[in-house]
Chain A
Amino acid sequence: MELLTNQILAGIATGAIYACMALAVVMIYQAIDHLNFAQGEMAMFSTFMAWQMMQWGLNYWEAFVLTVVISFAGGILIERLLFKPLAKAPILTNVAGFIALFAIVNSCAGLIWDFTIKQFPTPFGSSPFLGSQLISTHQAGMIGVTLGLLLLLFFFFRFTRIGLAMRAAAALPESARLVGINTSWMIALGWGMAAAIGSIAGMLIAPVVFLEPNMMGGVLIYGFAAAVLGGLTSPFGAVVGGFLVGIFENLAGTYIPGVGNELKLPIALALIIIVLVVKPAGLFGRPIVKRV
């Protein structure tokens, strides 16, 4: 029994990473209806920028805030330059665009900062959290930040006019234009927000997995799995999905013989497929009621 609770606790701790990443995935999916394969690389690049700023002598929180702001602007810039021209292109063209962006960002990071791993600091410390050996203060802080972000997003989309406009633009672009919403800028804003959330995810993940250009490879797949499990249309679902994937991964590694560490990643992929087959809208994806 104690093993079970311990594994669940550890699962929640790793789940926080996936939840954070899934939140960024859902943001971009809401805005453009596609999964952005380069999301993880963008987050990694942001994290390197934060690291560089700290090397230049800024303290953690200065670098943190600056990185979030620059990432937000960078996300908008990428949308304007790369993906706005592709807005009417077929989906495969967009996918090719994402893959190109993935490769470009990854190589640029390698070129600028090389491929050796770097230490990234944590503002929360890394001592045991409340005396538990399984959750460190950093992981607890990460869970807190993820939940805080979720709450902020909830209020933004539910209670602000710009949030309402973004939801409308994502749901029905033509109707949104007919009430006077500039849908093209709403998409750009979605990119900016996804990049900003991604940068926060990157900075929180880096102390755990170490900073290097390929740090996000596995994490992004888990983030996708979490987003699909929770429902790609629901930020809340993405976070719950993240924690569930974390717990599931740990329990499978412990209790299913032969799984171990090597097979954890295929389990995440299998989870994506199972969810898509059994419940394509995900656990919390909103079923659309339609009457004619």
Chain B
Amino acid sequence: MTAMLNVKDLRAYYGQVQALHGLEFGLNEGSLTTLLGANGAGKTTTLRAICSMVRSTGSIEFEGAPLLGRSTENIVRLGIAHVPQGRGTFTTMTVEENLQLGAITRKDSAGIVSDIERMYDHFPVLKQRHTQQAGTLSGGEQQMLAVARALMLRPRLMLLDEPSFGLAPLIVRDLFRILGKINREDKVTILVVEQNAQLALELADKAYVIETGRIVMSGNAAEIANNEDVRKSYLGY
């Protein structure tokens, strides 16, 4: 099976500072993969490089098409949804407008309407608040909204940057349960970056560990979770 996303020799730079040093990894279609690592290891940079939001070299191929050199909006239009760190909520707009923005590149208005209803099924709290300004939602609700907004694209691949950040443990569990459901039922390939390694490894089927801009470990999520050395040296639990 060829990988849906193939990353080879990826190097990324913030000005003069190099943040990724030849990253290599792949994502299989339908998989739920997690990218783990400490603060500053390059997790966020990896996601930003995929969406052309940081200067990078090397090669990133999505279903055979090279992504480097494309603009962010064109990469999104290929079916890659990115839920950024800090959620990227349009705080001055209503919940429903946020969802419509997620589908702004789509032309099938009937499909959009029914997808908004589907999101309200996934996340009932969003339905209750659909006319409310999104900035008034709680952190957990905003994260639900960010995921729902990303799904409105009908993505083939979804990138999530620390979805658990700043959320209460119960809400994180709920969110991860929904992510698993989306992965299984809607066949969305998911790459989730997490500092909460324990929870991410429970959810994912494959894991990569990144340290100072390089992949230092890869394997099945269960294997990595059970490998005590890996846990102690890289994951810190």
- Contacts A164-B104, A289-B136, A291-B138: A180 and B91 contacting too (C-beta < 8 A)? no
Bound-complex Cα distance A286 to B90 (A):
14
Verify B91–A161 contact, CB threshold 8 A: no
Measured between beta carbons, the chain A residues less than 8 angstroms from B71 are 177, 182
The answer, yes or no, to whether A292 is at the interface (CB within 8 Å) is yes
Q: Could you tell me which residues of chain B, from 79 to 113, have a CB within 8 Å of some CB in chain A? A: 81-82, 84, 88-93, 97, 100-102, 104-105
Contact among B84, B136, B137, B142 for A178, CB-based, below 8 A: B84
Verify A168–B73 contact, CB threshold 8 A: no
Verify A180–B77 contact, CB threshold 8 A: yes
The answer, yes or no, to whether B135 is at the interface (CB within 8 Å) is yes
Q: A188 to nearest B CB, angstroms?
A: 14
Verify B97–A179 contact, CB threshold 8 A: no
Verify B73–A180 contact, CB threshold 8 A: yes
Report the interface size class on chain B: 20 to 34
Verify B92–A171 contact, CB threshold 8 A: yes
**Chain B CB within 10 Å, residue with most, of A161, A176, A182:** A161
Measured between beta carbons, the chain B residues less than 8 angstroms from A177 are 53, 71-73, 76
Verify A174–B53 contact, CB threshold 8 A: yes
Verify B101–A164 contact, CB threshold 8 A: yes
Verify A289–B93 contact, CB threshold 8 A: no
Q: A160 to nearest B CB, angstroms?
A: 11
The answer, yes or no, to whether A165 is at the interface (CB within 8 Å) is yes
**Chain B CB within 10 Å, residue with most, of A161, A175, A181, A290:** A175
Q: B144 to nearest A CB, angstroms?
A: 14
Give the number of chain A interface residues (Cβ < 8 Å): 23
The answer, yes or no, to whether A278 is at the interface (CB within 8 Å) is no
Q: Could you tell me which residues of chain B, from 134 to 151, have a CB within 8 Å of some CB in chain A? A: 135-139, 142, 149
The answer, yes or no, to whether B133 is at the interface (CB within 8 Å) is yes
- Contacts A174-B53, A289-B136: A165 and B88 contacting too (C-beta < 8 A)? no
Verify B93–A171 contact, CB threshold 8 A: yes
Who on chain A is nearest to B52 by CB?
A: A177
Verify B73–A286 contact, CB threshold 8 A: no
Verify A179–B101 contact, CB threshold 8 A: yes
The answer, yes or no, to whether B153 is at the interface (CB within 8 Å) is yes
Measured between beta carbons, the chain B residues less than 8 angstroms from A178 are 51, 72, 76, 81-82, 84, 88
Verify A288–B92 contact, CB threshold 8 A: yes
Q: B72 to nearest A CB, angstroms?
A: 4
- Contacts A177-B72, A180-B73, A289-B135: A172 and B88 contacting too (C-beta < 8 A)? yes
Extra 10 A-B pairs, beta carbons < 8 Å, given A161-B104, A172-B88, A179-B102? A164-B100, A168-B93, A175-B90, A177-B72, A178-B88, A179-B104, A179-B105, A180-B77, A288-B92, A290-B135
Q: Mind listing 25 A-B residue pairs with CB under 8 Å?
A: A164-B97, A164-B100, A164-B101, A165-B101, A165-B104, A168-B93, A168-B104, A171-B90, A171-B92, A175-B88, A175-B90, A177-B72, A178-B82, A180-B76, A181-B73, A182-B71, A182-B73, A183-B73, A286-B92, A289-B91, A289-B135, A289-B136, A290-B91, A290-B135, A291-B135
